[in-house]
Amino acid sequence: MNLPTKQKVTGITLLVALGIIYGDIGTSPLYVMKAIIGDKPINELLVYGAVSCVFWTLTFQTTLKYIILTLSADNHGEGGVFSLYALVKRFGKGRLVIPTILGATTLLADGIITPPISVASAVEGLGDVIPDIPTIPIVVVIISLLFIFQRFGTQKVGSIFGPAMFIWFCMLFVLGVSQIIHHPMIIKALNPMYGYELLTQYPKGFWLLGAVFLCTTGAEALYSDLGHCGKENIRITWVFVKISLVVNYLGQSAWLMSQGKEFLEGRNPFYAIMPHWFLLIGIVISTFATIIASQALISGSFTLINEAISLNFWPRVTLKNPTNLKGQIYIPSINNILWFGCILMILYFKNSTNMEAAYGFSITIAMMMTTVLLTYYLIYIKKVRLSLVTLILVVFAIIEVSFFIANVSKIKQRWMFLFFELFIFMVMYVWYYSRKINNRFLKFTNLMEQTETLATLSEDDAIPKYATHLIYLSKADKTYEIEEKIIKSIFAKQPKRADVYWFFHINRTNEPFTLNYEVVELLDDKVIKIILNIGFRVQPKVELYFKKIVQDLVNQKQLNLHIRPDGSSKYNSEPDFKFVIIEKFISVENEFAFKEGWLLTSYFWLKKLSLSDEKAFGLDKSDVAIEEYPMVYSPVTNLELNRK
């Protein structure tokens, strides 16, 4: 079953889109103009050029690339780097794996710096009301409470996110207009020539692009949240959001031109344009908006890891559903990693100004990787003319490479942050490629050739019955194939006799919410293979699905055993299921090349640290038997041994 991909456009859905989609990009006025101006002398070239660059960045990078082009690349209504990869991977022949890993890594890394910079920028406004107030402890407490709250879900407070962000954007618009009327000439700054002059004539003007880029950092997250709201809701609300953002940037610029001082002297233009009587109210609204922005990014990180697990880019970890809300996931390990990283960012950088100097580098890489995947989508799926795709690619390559070069200078401020990104990248790289190596050495056999022997074993009363229903999880995607190790497990020194032998294959589809199954009876009521087609956003609750399938077969009278058809007895109403999980380990007989040996060793260590198959597939411990199986990649039969 696939969920509907098109969502209706109503007042409620538009409000929900405001609350979910625009937190990151919507709170950027808190720090963008302050980051661009910094400690530089305030003049017309700088101010007009800055707001011009911001406007055209929002136009090209956010509106054209993401709102118009990238949102069209939806995978049955879902967006994000993994959804896009699932759409185009068959055309890439493996070339798209590294861009996908890089895009996911840098987007996840953004989850460590966005909450601190957003919340700190809002809370630091208290300094204008209460001088010398220590803001670091307040920011630490707010962010810690936010991460603690994740385990309970956001269903109860999520309903107020939309109205709160509506108030936020209305506030941005009103504050901007209140300053534009004092300096209406600032409207001229929308002329792209002012931006061009800033980059070419202002001393080191090109490097200001690193600060300008902060205005569009939320665009990638906007695409990732596509499935929550639908593209039409996002596109309609973006008109309101962009107008509010641009008017506020123009208002801050108008204030800069009329405030009468040569330097900012530590002031934040965002709070400076507020009337003094409104300042405390504005800080409260701003803080709440940044909390919503942080929440959206944290939820997006959980979704990202869930997709990575399904597409074999991340080890299996504990997943929880704190509420009944569709798609709401809580991942304790990721929650703890993000919380620890956010607190380190706050303690290391101490204030939002220092964070601004390190922010943006990761997202430029994420955007470049999305451009690579989007190119494949336009060529192979949308069948757009190659000349037009080339033009689009060149335009965004120039823009994004320019932003990347300008952001490269930030590495010296964020060198410690690179270790976190390297860690995420290596986990994804090792897990994906080592599984490829591991699967390469799997040996399969024809299951049809084994059915007669399985039937004989099943009816051999001399052997104690192991289970009524014996179930193996199989990687064999071909209907009539099965792994050799499974056959060896059944016909071991102590054979496993059962009434029914089930072979359960999970087929991960390229669609997000597929959930259906196929049943193939290779031998009536004895040997049955089930293929569960499951989307990459659906959790594989194997035992739950298996029991439901058996119940369906019994109800449809397709399963007929000599005892109760569900495997129960008059002494026990519970069906007799036994899942066998084969735990692999590397045999000492193996000899690898350095890269393969390193990858496989790392893989098996990650497996030890990750969730067991039993828990990952939702299996009841009492229904599971664990067997160890040595993985021999260089079997002794391959050795050349001559008799003397």
Q: What is the pLDDT of residues 476-500, one digit of tens each?
A: 888 888 988 899 899 988 899 988 8
> Distance between CA atoms of 512 and 77, rounded to whole angstroms?
9
* Confidence (pLDDT) at 400: 93
Q: Tell me the β-bridge partners of 585.
A: 630
- Contacts of 486-494 spanning 24+ positions with Cβ under 8 A: 486/582, 487/445, 487/450, 489/580, 489/582, 489/627, 489/629, 490/454, 490/457, 491/453, 491/457
> Distance between CA atoms of 253 and 179, rounded to whole angstroms?
9
* Confidence (pLDDT) at 1: 43
With bands split at pLDDT 50, 70 and 90, how would you rate the model's confidence at 588? low
With bands split at pLDDT 50, 70 and 90, how would you rate the model's confidence at 218? confident
Q: What are phi and psi of 613, to 5 degrees?
A: -55, -35
Q: Is the pLDDT of residue 613 over 80?
A: no
With bands split at pLDDT 50, 70 and 90, how would you rate the model's confidence at 398? very high
Q: How far is CA 228 from CA 15, 328, 549, in A?
A: 12, 10, 30
Q: What is the mean pLDDT of residues 130-146?
A: 88
pLDDT in tens, 51-84: 999 999 999 999 999 999 999 988 888 888 999 9
Q: How far is CA 320 from CA 153, 159, 257, 449, 557, in A?
A: 10, 21, 52, 41, 35
How much is the pTM? 0.85
Higher pLDDT, 392 or 16: 392
Alpha helices in 150-278 (DSSP H): 155-158, 161-180, 192-201, 209-212, 219-224, 226-229, 231-258, 269-272
Q: What is the mean pLDDT of residues 129-157?
A: 82
Q: What are phi and psi of 31, to 5 degrees?
A: -135, -10
* Confidence (pLDDT) at 494: 87
* Confidence (pLDDT) at 4: 42
Which amino acid is located at 201 in the chain?
Q
**Considering just the CA atoms, what is the radius of gyration of the chain in Å?**
29
Q: Is the pLDDT of residue 590 over 70?
A: no
Q: Which of 57-66, 93-102, 195-204, 436-445 has the lowest mean pLDDT?
A: 436-445
CA 546 to chain CA centroid, Å, is 28
With bands split at pLDDT 50, 70 and 90, how would you rate the model's confidence at 195? very high
Q: Is the pLDDT of residue 285 over 70?
A: yes
* Confidence (pLDDT) at 353: 80
pLDDT in tens, 18-49: 888 888 888 899 989 999 998 899 999 999 99
With bands split at pLDDT 50, 70 and 90, how would you rate the model's confidence at 12? confident
pLDDT in tens, 229-279: 788 888 999 999 999 999 999 999 999 998 888 888 888 999 999 999 999
> Distance between CA atoms of 553 and 535, rounded to whole angstroms?
23
- Contacts of 340-345 spanning 24+ positions with Cβ under 8 A: 341/111, 341/112, 341/420, 342/112, 342/113, 342/115, 342/116, 342/143, 342/147, 343/140, 343/143, 343/144, 345/112, 345/113, 345/116, 345/417
Q: Is the pLDDT of residue 561 over 60?
A: no
Structure tokens at 377: 């989508």
Structure tokens at 430: 């090792």
56 Cβ contact partners less than 8 Å away, ≥ 6 residues apart: 192, 195
Q: What are phi and psi of 218, to 5 degrees?
A: -85, 0
Q: Of 113, 97, 26, whose CA–CA distance to 301 is shortest?
A: 113
Q: Is the pLDDT of residue 631 over 70?
A: no
pLDDT in tens, 302-354: 888 888 888 889 988 888 776 555 556 788 888 998 999 899 888 888 888 88
* Confidence (pLDDT) at 318: 83
With contact defined as beta carbons under 8 Å apart, do 228 and 16 qualify?
A: yes
Q: Is the pLDDT of residue 206 over 80?
A: yes
Higher pLDDT, 4 or 574: 574
Hey, what's the torsion of the CAs at 613, 614, 618, 621, to 10 degrees?
180
* Confidence (pLDDT) at 360: 80
Percent of the chain with pLDDT over 90: 36
Total number of residues shown for the chain: 644
Which amino acid is located at 274 in the chain?
M
103 Cβ contact partners less than 8 Å away, ≥ 6 residues apart: 81, 365, 366, 369, 370, 373
**Dihedral class, residue 186 (left if φ above 0, else alpha if ψ from -120 to 50, else beta):** alpha
Q: SS3 of 21, please? A: helix
Query: Which one-letter DSSP state was computed for residue 191?
Result: S
* Confidence (pLDDT) at 3: 44
With bands split at pLDDT 50, 70 and 90, how would you rate the model's confidence at 402? very high
* Confidence (pLDDT) at 60: 94
Q: Which residue has the tokens 């955007």?
A: 367
Q: How high is the mean pLDDT of the chain?
A: 85
Percent of the chain with pLDDT over 70: 89
Q: Of 90, 5, 3, whose CA–CA distance to 516 is shortest?
A: 3
pLDDT in tens, 422-479: 889 999 999 998 888 877 778 889 989 999 999 999 889 889 888 888 999 888 888 8
With contact defined as beta carbons under 8 Å apart, do 227 and 511 qualify?
A: no
* Confidence (pLDDT) at 625: 80
Q: How far is CA 198 from CA 46, 194, 565, 609, in A?
A: 6, 6, 78, 52
Q: Could you tell me what percentage of the chain is helix, strand and coil, using 3-state DSSP and rounding each to the nearest 5?
A: 60, 10, 25
Structure tokens at 151: 């385990």
Q: SS3 of 535, please? A: coil
> Distance between CA atoms of 215 and 262, rounded to whole angstroms?
24
Q: Which residue has the tokens 């700088």?
A: 46
Q: Which of 84-98, 200-214, 515-529, 624-638 has the lowest mean pLDDT?
A: 624-638
Task: For 171-180, give one letter per residue: b (16+ CB within 10 A) or e.
Answer: bbbebbeebb
Residue 609's CB: how many other CB atoms inside 10 A?
A: 10
Structure tokens at 459: 């009816």
Q: What is the mean pLDDT of residues 110-126?
A: 86
